[in-house]
Each structure stands twice: as C-alpha cells, then as structure tokens.
Amino acid sequence: MPYLSYTQQNLKIVSNNLISAIMAKKMGAALKISRLTNLEYVRPDKQEMFSSLGIDNIISPTQLAVQEITRLLDHCEVTDHFEFEDGKLSLVGITIND
C-alpha cells in the first residue's frame, strides 16, 4: 500500500510529515512519498538522505510548477507582452503548439 504525506510550509508540520513517512515505512507501506514546499529538501544531494530514511520520493509543488511552465514555454510562441506598475506585473500572451 502506498503512503503520501502532505504538509504546508510550517517547519513543525514538515518534521511531522517526515516522521509520519518514516513510520509508514515501519508499518510496511510499499511506497512512501512526501510533499514538501521547501526547495532545499528537493536538491539532488538530499535524495540519498531521504532514501536512507525510507522515503522513496519527495514532491515539491514549486519545482513541479517550474518544470511545467518550462515545458510549456519550450513549445510556445510569445504573441503579446504588456507590463504594468513599472514592471511589477507582466501579462504575456502565448500560443501553445501541440
């Protein structure tokens, strides 16, 4: 049975999330996935540490969003670009090619 732990950005909750994933390993969960918002935990040099704790995958919503935006931008054309409030806000029109 897979196990997914989920947290917000609160550090105390993040540690609870990691502890619950370790407990899930001890209870026999076949796959342990933790969702963390701190990008520090997603770095490649941290993966071995999480593996040694029995956590199979770390998911970062920020990292997933960056990957998806990058993927979309690799397959699109910018058609319009408008800046507001001296560049504080940008509106970009794009055409996505399938």
**Domains of the chain by residue range:** 1-59, 69-98
| Residue bearing the bigger pLDDT, 10 or 64 | 64
Cα–Cα dist 61/39, whole Å: 9
Is the torsion defined by CA of 21, 13, 57, 51 positive or negative? negative
| The pLDDT of residue 1 | 62
| Residue bearing the bigger pLDDT, 92 or 8 | 92
| The pLDDT of residue 29 | 87
pTM: 0.55
